[in-house]
Amino acid sequence: MLSREADACFWIGRYVERAEATARMLDVHYHAALEGVPGMLEWESVLAIADCSAAFHARHRQISDRNIISFFVFDTDNPGSILSSLTYARENARSIRDMVASEIWECLNQAYLDLKEWDIDRALAGTPHALFTKIKNDAHLFHGITYRTQLLNETRDWLRVGTFLERADQTTRLLDVKYHDLLPATRAGKPEIGGLGVGGPADIHGWIAILRSVSAFEMYRKTHRDGIHPAGVVDFLILNPIFPASVRYSIGQAEEALRRVSGTSATSPATCEPERLIGRLRGELNYAQAEEIILAGLHEYLQSVQKRVSEIGGSITKTYLSYQ
């Protein structure tokens, strides 16, 4: 497979995942704010985590639902907006449309064309939830069509490497958002539980919202019968081996896809730098414990995982995607 094509597949995977994650994040915060769920973060924290506070304030004088949704969904000057992500995914798909099943291209093309039919007024006139749901469903359709039509070849492997690396990254960001939210409470000297300054009854709603945003609430209930608590949520979203949005699962899937590319197995020694880096991260996630992570500092841990995911991405690009 051409390096350029592998690169396009890798980024299609990442952009579709990014669009979906952004839609989920907006959905949960928009509705939590509407319902007045206590313990949920401010939009300002969302901007900080997405690292685009400055970009946002350069374009909008004040924070409002309208401005936030415009910025995160429709603003093409924001490279992380949903429209930007879908545009990039579609343009990448166009450049490799000969490599993938026609339906995959048509799905991404349609998702983009549909979103172009929306604007902020239409999104706010009905319920923004309809728009966010549509974005999520488009991403699901993309994964479903790929699963159903694409040969189990390198094209699919690179789509998966991109998808799961991005998912691991997004899940750590989601938890990090929660951490930001808690900072003021900690500063105010509220009672600390589990080393996080968390735990009042109001705060439970915040954790539930986080779980809901990755469709994890019901699944969490099935695995953690002792209720919603920080260590449980950290355990579920970072370390669960079989929950499809957990960091551990995502890294494991990305590793398997990478190993298929080189034709080796995850149990054999690494054949290249990306395999070494991702294998080590997967190994650590396999044996980590939630309490230990919280004690050492959740924020520091999440930052370190994000940094390593980014290193893995860089190493993949260097080894496979940009032929020197």
Q: How far is the CB of 163 from another protein (least distance, A)?
A: 17
> Whose Cβ is closer to another protein: residue 258's or residue 302's?
258
Which residues between 39 and 78 bind another protein (CB under 8 A)? 76
Q: What is the C-alpha to C-alpha distance for residues 205 and 256, in angstroms, rounded to an integer?
A: 36
Residue 105 is a binding residue for another protein (CB under 8 A)? yes
Q: What is the C-alpha to C-alpha distance for residues 32 and 49, in angstroms, rounded to an integer?
A: 18
Q: How far is the CB of 320 from another protein (least distance, A)?
A: 5
Per-residue b or e along 156-166, where b marks 16 or more CB atoms closer than 10 Å to that residue's CB: bbbbbbbbbbb
Q: How far is the CB of 100 from another protein (least distance, A)?
A: 9
From 35, 106, 192, 292, residue interacting with another protein (rule: CB under 8 A): 106
Q: What is the C-alpha to C-alpha distance for residues 26 and 28, in angstroms, rounded to an integer?
A: 6
Residue 236 is a binding residue for another protein (CB under 8 A)? no
> Whose Cβ is closer to another protein: residue 97's or residue 212's?
97
Q: What is the C-alpha to C-alpha distance for residues 204 and 193, in angstroms, rounded to an integer?
A: 12
| Interface map 107-126 toward another protein (x if CB under 8 A) | --xx--x--x----------
Span near another protein by CB under 8 A; candidates 2-10, 48-56, 199-207, 216-224: 2-10
> Whose Cβ is closer to another protein: residue 247's or residue 258's?
258
Q: How far is the CB of 116 from another protein (least distance, A)?
A: 8
Q: What is the C-alpha to C-alpha distance for residues 26 and 100, in angstroms, rounded to an integer?
A: 31
Span near another protein by CB under 8 A; candidates 90-98, 132-140, 206-214, 302-310: 90-98
Residue 277, burial from CB neighbour count under 10 angstroms (0-12, 13-18, 19+) = buried
The full DSSP string for 20-39 is HHHHHHHHHHHHHHHHT-TT
> Whose Cβ is closer to another protein: residue 28's or residue 83's?
83
Q: Helix, strand or coil for residue 115?
A: helix
Compute how many other C-beta atoms are within 10 angstroms of the C-beta atom of residue 65. Answer: 17
Residue 312 is a binding residue for another protein (CB under 8 A)? no
Q: How far is the CB of 76 from another protein (least distance, A)?
A: 8
> Whose Cβ is closer to another protein: residue 57's or residue 97's?
97
Let me know: does 238 contact 247? Beta carbons within 8 Å: yes
> Whose Cβ is closer to another protein: residue 2's or residue 34's?
2
Site residue total, another protein (CB under 8 A): 26
Residue 320 is a binding residue for another protein (CB under 8 A)? yes
Residue 318 is a binding residue for another protein (CB under 8 A)? no
Q: What is the C-alpha to C-alpha distance for residues 284 and 3, in angstroms, rounded to an integer?
A: 30
Residue 139, burial from CB neighbour count under 10 angstroms (0-12, 13-18, 19+) = buried
> Whose Cβ is closer to another protein: residue 16's or residue 28's?
16
Residue 154 is a binding residue for another protein (CB under 8 A)? yes
| Interface map 5-24 toward another protein (x if CB under 8 A) | xx------------------
Residue 256 is a binding residue for another protein (CB under 8 A)? no
> CA 2 → CA 38, 95, 133, 274, distances in Å?
51, 12, 35, 18
Alpha-helical segments (H) within 36-101? 43-49, 53-59, 65-69, 82-95
Interface residues toward another protein, by CB under 8 A: 1-6, 76, 91, 94-99, 102, 105-106, 109-110, 113, 116, 154, 261, 320-321, 323
